[in-house]
Amino acid sequence: MDSVITVKQLRKQYGDVDAVKDVSFSVGKGEIFGIIGPNGAGKTTTIEILEGIRKRDGGEVQVLGMDPEKNRRNLNARIGVQFQSTAIQEKIKVKEALDLFSSFYPNNDNLGDLIEKLGLDEKMDVYFEDLSGGWKQRVTLALATLHSPEIVFLDEPSMGLDPQARRDLWDIIHYLRDRGSTIIVTTHYMEEAEKLCDRIAMIYGGKLEALGEPKQLLEDLATKYLSFYSRDADENILSRLPGVISLENTEGHYRIMTEQLQRTSYHLFKEGEERNWTIEGFQFERGTLDDLFVHLLHKEETA
């Protein structure tokens, strides 16, 4: 696959603080690429350096074969951007905003389709300030993509959206990709990254902690979970079972992270039989990106 974005050893400092430290990755044409991490991890800084509105302190960045810092003007016509805090003029009507932004681009033949896909027809005469969060999001998304950009940058697009609006957003993002755009999206919702992204870069404290397909990352992590209910199990004994990495207990619901599912299970039931514990609702669980994330964080803290 051709890469449309290449980042090598990217560095950015604010005063003495390293916001981004030696981050490298590349994004292929047509990918939905997620940059994920907690708030303040350096996601926005990274994406804004790619967009060309933030200067980097070191490393190389190429977007569509150009250095965004030097060629922002040229790049602007070929990328689409949605900021984290979505704001346009409060008293502007939706149709006026679309009309205004259309006048900035020579090519916006797909606007009609986009309006239909986003369901904006019914909101054309509404002032931006009167729209709900989800609709505001759709409007700014339309403004970011009405010129069919080659790359679309979305910074925390699902922040503050209800679950339904979030699902609709994923649907729209897939539509944009199918239309030919490469998507770069930041999020701190792991579930979103897992369901939406082809590949993810996990950033924590400005450092790249993991890079790859969500499924692959979870498998590489080699951490599996088993869970069950028990009223009489002993936490101390459980945590010393072979293979156990960590253990959570919420009012008798146990969730055990283990490297060896089979072995830990065997010993769990063995101890249970010997000590007369009642074990109910036992099941194996796959780890989620959330778990991976907590795991990385944990590693960071103990290192």
From the list 78-86, 176-184, 216-224, 280-288, the region that binds another protein by CB under 8 A is 78-86
Query: Does 73 help bind another protein (rule: CB under 8 A)?
Result: yes
79 binds another protein (CB under 8 A): yes
- 53 touches another protein by CB under 8 A: yes
How far apart are CB 34 and another protein at their closest, in Å?
21
Cα 219 from Cα 87, distance rounded (Å)? 40
Q: Quick one: DSSP state of residue 77?
A: T
CB of 145 to another protein, least distance (A): 12
Tell me if 124 contacts another protein by CB under 8 A: no
Chosen residue from 6, 71, 76, 227 binding another protein by CB under 8 A: 76
Tell me: does residue 16 bind another protein (CB under 8 A). no
How many residues bind another protein, per CB under 8 A? Answer: 26
Identify any residues that bridge with 36 across adjacent strands, giving them in sequence order: 187, 202
Q: Which is closer to another protein, CB of 136 or CB of 224?
A: 136
Nearer to another protein, 105 or 266 (CB): 105
The answer to the question of residue 131 lying near another protein (CB under 8 A) is no
CA distance 72 to 256: 50
> Coil, strand or helix: which one is 90?
coil
Site string for another protein, 93-122 (x = CB under 8 A): ---x--xxx-xxx-----------------
Name, in order, each residue with C-beta under 8 angstroms of 291's C-beta and a sequence gap of 6 or more: 221, 223, 225, 257
Neighbours of 11 (CB within 10 A): 16
Encode 184-218: b = buried (16+ Cβ within 10 Å), e = exposed: bbbbbbbebbbebbebbbbbbbbbbbbbeebeebb
Least separation in angstroms between CB 75 and another protein? 9
Binder to another protein among 1, 17, 87, 303 (CB under 8 A)?
A: 87
b/e burial code for range 138-148 (CB count within 10 A of at least 16 → b) = bbbbbbbbbbb
Piece in contact with another protein (CB under 8 A), picked from 49-57, 58-66, 182-190, 288-296: 49-57
Residue with Cβ nearer another protein (13 or 249)? 13
Q: Does 54 bind another protein (CB under 8 A)?
A: yes
Q: Please report how close the Cβ of residue 89 comes to another protein at its closest, in angstroms.
A: 6
55 binds another protein per the rule CB under 8 A: yes
Q: How far is the CB of 9 from another protein (least distance, A)?
A: 20
Neighbours of 280 (CB within 10 A): 9
Amino acid present at 293: F
Nearer to another protein, 1 or 87 (CB): 87
Distance in angstroms between the alpha carbons of the first and the last residue of the chain: 36
Q: Which of 205, 300, 291, 204 has its CA nearest to residue 255?
A: 291
Q: Tokens standing for 287? A: 């780890």
Instruction: Please identify, using beta-carbon distances, which residue of 151 and 226 lies nearer to another protein.
Output: 151
Three-state SS at 115: helix
Nearer to another protein by Cβ, of 107 and 216: the residue is: 107
**Residue linked to tokens 């030919």:** 180
Residues forming the site for another protein (CB under 8 A)? 14, 51-55, 72-73, 76-77, 79, 81, 83, 85, 87-89, 91-92, 96, 99-101, 103-105
